[in-house]
Chain A
Amino acid sequence: MSASATGIGLRLADKRRRERRWLLGGAGILACIVALAGFGIGALAIPPATVLHILAAQLGLADAAGIDPLHRQVFLAIRAPRVLLGFGVGASLALAGAAMQGVFRNPLADPGLIGVSAGAALAAACIIVIGPPAIIGASSVLRPWMLPLSAFGGGLLATAAVYLLARHEGRVVTSVMLLAGVALNALVGAAIGWLTFVATDEQLRSLTFWTLGSVGGANWASVLPTLILALLAAIGLLRLAPALNLLALGEAEARSLGSDPARTARLVACFAAVAVAAAVASAGMVGFVGLVAPHLVRLLVGPDHRVVLPGAALAGGTLLVLADIVARTVVVPAELPLGVVTALVGVPFFFWLLLRSKRTGQSE
């Protein structure tokens, strides 16, 4: 073989690998720093050193003596679940976005834009106002899972509907995909409008929460189902990264390389619906994270899904924790809805992407 005489192939492959390791490492460190900030910032400031001290004490690595009990109480009951929930929600949405973009072969397939979050939210809102089906309502085991389960059903239906509508001769038509999202979002807007009309005052408060999103209500009971579902989705989606890379070549090409694109699409739809359900059921509709996070990763290290998926999860979690810090500090003592903050960042970003895809004509 005359091939490896210069070794440029190996050099290029290794360079890419190094870039990926740096990105994932850097994103991990950044996530930890932002989490520390999230734990510390608020009406009662907790210094990072104290946060680390409390964490060490909780893990049995340090003596709990010398920790202000108020700090400890606020950290354990409010900050920790809130930051963890925020991270889980952001990571789920970003991961779902990155994987769906892979299946749709389109960088604009965000769970919020194409109506998957809306489908999940509608199903959950129906359960809140109309009430759960008798089997779930009666069982105390299923109760904490009631909203995630119905959100999963709604999200899955929405994903399937958009995918089937927008796919034409083996490729996804961007305009149909986005219009299907517009239609689904409009349907959900109308339905939620109607639900607010028939809802009681208490139901109404939790309904407004669905439309703009918040992780303010976080407590351990709501955090755990979310994180479990998010982890489940992450495991499922990360395994599909090589198949998503092949799908980027085209459906026929993926098939000729021994992959099964239909199976990939089904699995991504299911796991992405789990991820979106985990996010929506606990935090409502938070937009644009699934659009922004995967893009940042692609800009830095290219589109290989083996790094885009984990990278997007880290970036999405970090972004959402940051957005939540902004949401609860800019208008103290009140809080901005989380969706307002993410939209302020996400909408300009979306326009920029649209303009760019118009210029390069990359997506038809």
Chain B
Amino acid sequence: MSTAALALHQASLRRGRRLVLQDVTLQARPGRLLAIIGPNGAGKTSALSLLSGAASAEAGEVLLDGDPLARIGAEALARRRAVVSQGARIAFPFRVHEAIALGRAPHRGRTTHHQDAALVEEAMARFELLHLAERSVPTLSGGEQQRVQLARAFVQLDRPVLDGTARWLLLDEPVTGLDPAHQVRALAEARRFADAGGGVIAVLHDLRLAARYADDVALIEGGRCTVLDTPAVVLTPERIRLAFGLDEASVGLFLTA
């Protein structure tokens, strides 16, 4: 099977004694942006950690381009997908350009330091970090640090498509903590990554942003993926009202009319 996709196939995940994901099947395709939505604690982050290889499924399979994820070496995997998780904090006062350059680690010995520096610069420009390049990361605001993480992930992947294979960007609430302009900018960059042939999977809380930027939306409720389809199909007032337990008056606040 050589379908280019990152997919969960009837995957289950247990944390402690709790079954946080049960029989989840979903598939993300290159060139598309998949938004994962759902109530707090429904298992969105857990699904993302299965897809990234951070957690391994108790049952079922995680497949990257048809191969079981667990069989891909850690460094090779790091060149094919990058992860931005929630609230990551750097431990020492690395400067912005140094922290972003850490994303080049899986490529050590494969590229020159000129190429690495050019990629770092490109990513800093992408996320408007050039003027902060020499600032120490822990002194930045939460939103700025989040942009550093995003830039690091872009640098980790080189290009949306490399050597004919799509690269994958896995983002857990990537725009939380960003101001509106940077939310739009970050999702536009993710969108561009997908348009250039890469795959993007993003956990999003903002349903309007999901409607605006995603090609597909997966709704996760109570550890199950209940629907995966285009935004027009998934993001209907009725479905959202039921999934999030909203009343009829307030559901309109979260959906594009």
Given contacts A106-B91, A256-B83, contact A13 B102 (CB under 8 A): no
In B57-84, the 8 Å CB interface with A consists of: 73-79, 81-83
Given contacts A3-B125, A105-B91, A258-B74, contact A252 B85 (CB under 8 A): yes
**Bound state CA distance, A245 and B93, in angstroms?**
11
**Bound state CA distance, A251 and B130, in angstroms?**
27
Chain B 117-132 near chain A by CB (<8 Å), digits 1 or 0: 1111110110000100
The answer to whether the Cβ of A298 comes within 8 Å of any Cβ in the partner chain is: yes
Shortest CB–CB separation between residue B72 and chain A, in angstroms?
Answer: 10
* Contact, CB under 8 Å: B105 / A250: no
The answer to whether the Cβ of A253 comes within 8 Å of any Cβ in the partner chain is: yes
Tell me which residues across on chain B come within 8 A of A249, comparing CB atoms. 88, 90-91, 99, 102, 152
Given contacts A248-B92, A249-B90, A302-B94, contact A255 B118 (CB under 8 A): no
Instruction: List the A residue with the shortest CB-CB distance to B122.
Output: A3
In B90-143, the 8 Å CB interface with A consists of: 90-95, 97-99, 101-103, 105-106, 108, 113-114, 116-122, 124-125, 130, 133-134, 138-139
Given contacts A1-B118, A253-B85, A303-B93, contact A246 B105 (CB under 8 A): yes
**Bound state CA distance, A10 and B107, in angstroms?**
17
Q: Chain B interface mostly helix, strand, loop or mixed?
A: helix
Chain A 199-232 near chain B by CB (<8 Å), digits 1 or 0: 0000000000000000000000000000000000
The answer to whether the Cβ of B25 comes within 8 Å of any Cβ in the partner chain is: no
**Bound state CA distance, A8 and B123, in angstroms?**
12
The answer to whether the Cβ of A259 comes within 8 Å of any Cβ in the partner chain is: yes
The answer to whether the Cβ of A362 comes within 8 Å of any Cβ in the partner chain is: yes
Contacts A/B (CB < 8 Å), 26 sampled: A1-B122, A3-B121, A3-B125, A4-B114, A4-B118, A8-B133, A9-B119, A9-B121, A12-B134, A13-B97, A105-B92, A248-B90, A249-B91, A250-B91, A252-B88, A253-B85, A255-B54, A256-B81, A256-B82, A256-B83, A257-B106, A258-B74, A258-B76, A258-B106, A298-B92, A303-B93
* Contact, CB under 8 Å: A3 / B54: no
Tell me which residues across on chain A come within 8 A of B117, comparing CB atoms. 4, 9-10, 12-14
Tell me which residues across on chain B come within 8 A of A304, comparing CB atoms. 94, 98
Could you tell me which A residues sit within 8 Å of B by CB distance? 1-4, 6-10, 12-14, 16, 105-107, 242, 245-250, 252-253, 255-260, 298, 302-304, 360, 362
Instruction: List the B residue with the shortest CB-CB distance to A16.
Output: B98
Given contacts A13-B113, A242-B108, contact A257 B97 (CB under 8 A): no
Shortest CB–CB separation between residue B250 and chain A, in angstroms?
Answer: 34
**Bound state CA distance, A330 and B42, in angstroms?**
68
Instruction: List the B residue with the shortest CB-CB distance to A256.
Output: B83
**Bound state CA distance, A303 and B99, in angstroms?**
10
Tell me which residues across on chain A come within 8 A of B133, comparing CB atoms. 8, 12
Tell me which residues across on chain B come within 8 A of A8, comparing CB atoms. 121, 130, 133
The answer to whether the Cβ of B156 comes within 8 Å of any Cβ in the partner chain is: yes
**Bound state CA distance, A242 and B105, in angstroms?**
8
Instruction: List the A residue with the shortest CB-CB distance to B53.
Output: A256
**Bound state CA distance, A255 and B105, in angstroms?**
11
Kindly list 10 other residue pairs between chains A and B, CB separation below 8 angstroms, not including A257-B102, A258-B73.
A12-B97, A12-B133, A242-B105, A248-B90, A255-B54, A256-B81, A258-B74, A259-B74, A303-B92, A304-B98
Given contacts A12-B133, A249-B102, contact A4 B88 (CB under 8 A): no
**Bound state CA distance, A253 and B95, in angstroms?**
17
Given contacts A1-B118, A304-B98, contact A248 B91 (CB under 8 A): yes
Given contacts A258-B75, A360-B138, contact A13 B91 (CB under 8 A): no
With most chain B CB atoms within 10 A of its CB, the pick from A3, A10, A13, A256 is: A256
Cβ 8 A contact of A4, one of B102, B121, B134, B139: B121
